[in-house]
Amino acid sequence: MTLILDIVLRLAVWLLLAPLLPGIINKVKAWVAGRRGPPVLQLYYDLAKLWRKGVVLSTLASPGFVAGPAVAWVALTGAAMLMPLGPAGSVVSFNGDVLLLIYLLALARFCTVWAAMETGSAFEGMGAAREVSYAVLAEVAIIAAVLSLSVETGSVSLVTMLSPSLGTGAVLLAAGLFTVLLAENCRVPFDDPNTHLELTMIHEVMVLDHSGPPLAAVLHGASVKLLLFTVLLVQAVLPMGELSPLGAIAALAAGVLVVTVGVGLAESLLARLAFRRVPLLLTTAFLFCLFALLVAWKGGAE
């Protein structure tokens, strides 16, 4: 009984809090630009509105067009369930659950790309190709980060892995994971979530032809993914083992807030990169994670 209560509570926290993050990012951007900006709860209103609307289906599209966003949303929610939340741990934890997390993220991406290809539109295909080619590089970086954490703690289970120690390795890992977060969630140096020019979009162009509840699933899934990466980054860098449970939760929440504001600042202060410069930045992120791995390996042997 407590297990079911635990799962329901976690689902509520993840699903209800996730749309807050894009709202905070937009508020920070508006604040830097000197505008009033949309309300922080804007994404909740958007989701409610989209949920009530009907769906426009192309005669070309197979059921995969609707199934893609649904499966992606479920995969992202499942990945969120695997992620431990500070002292509360996670619902299910087993050896190698970190690999399942990475594969669930890959499955979500595959389904989004699949649904994009279903429309038969050239723009969607272009966005899908970009998304996948950047994901290849970002995935290498995240696997290097996971390796460095597992070498440092000698474990392949998320609950025990995410207990880092402060040091050079943590700084490198933070830089690498933050860049991966920006790339994976299509934030500014890689993609501009506000752009409305199909030629330059990555994530947004893939969901151009979705409408109604499937679009709501895509948007909500994206916000869950953003929260997932922020929580991963905070827990991979901030040692919270010695804090009291309440203090650890507060530290986690503060860390998530700091990272979100950081994303907003990066978005207001940086310009987006030309497409051909993106692989260089992603390679840099990979190298940050690789050198964190080197520090973990060298430090562990001494």
Burial profile 66-75: b = 16 or more Cβ within 10 angstroms, e = fewer: bebbbbbbbb
Tell me if 284 contacts another protein by CB under 8 A: yes
Q: Establish if 134 lies at the interface with another protein (CB under 8 A).
A: no
Segment 56 to 75, residues that bind another protein, using CB under 8 A = none
* Token code pair at residue 165: 């120690």
Task: Rule CB under 8 A: say whether 140 interacts with another protein.
Answer: no
Segment interacting with another protein (CB under 8 A) among 70-78, 108-116, 117-125, 286-294: 286-294
Cα separation, 219 vs 119, whole angstroms:
18
Q: Is the dihedral of CA 191, 196, 197, 198 positive or negative?
A: positive
Spatial distance between the Cα atoms of 202 and 206, rounded to a whole number of angstroms: 7
243 binds another protein (CB under 8 A): no
Question: DSSP characters for 234-258?
Answer: HHHHS--TTS-HHHHHHHHHHHHHH
CA atoms within 13 A on the CB side of 34: 0
Nearest residue (CB) to another protein, 53 versus 298: 298
- For the chain, the distance separating the N- and C-terminal CA atoms, rounded to the nearest angstrom, is 47
List 7, 270, 280, 300, residue binding another protein (CB under 8 A): 280
Whether the Cβ atoms of residue 177 and residue 289 lie closer than 8 Å to each other? yes
Distance of alpha carbon 216 from alpha carbon 236, whole angstroms = 30
Q: How far is the CB of 144 from another protein (least distance, A)?
A: 11
Is 291 a binder of another protein (CB under 8 A)? yes
What is the contact mask toward another protein in residues 260 to 279, using x (rule: CB under 8 A)?
A: -------------------x
Question: What is the per-residue binding string for another protein in 149-188, x denoting contact by CB under 8 A?
Answer: -------------------x--------------------
| Residue from the set 287, 292, 296, 300 that interacts with another protein by CB under 8 A | 287
Binding site for another protein (CB under 8 A): 168, 279-280, 283-284, 287, 290-291, 294, 298, 302
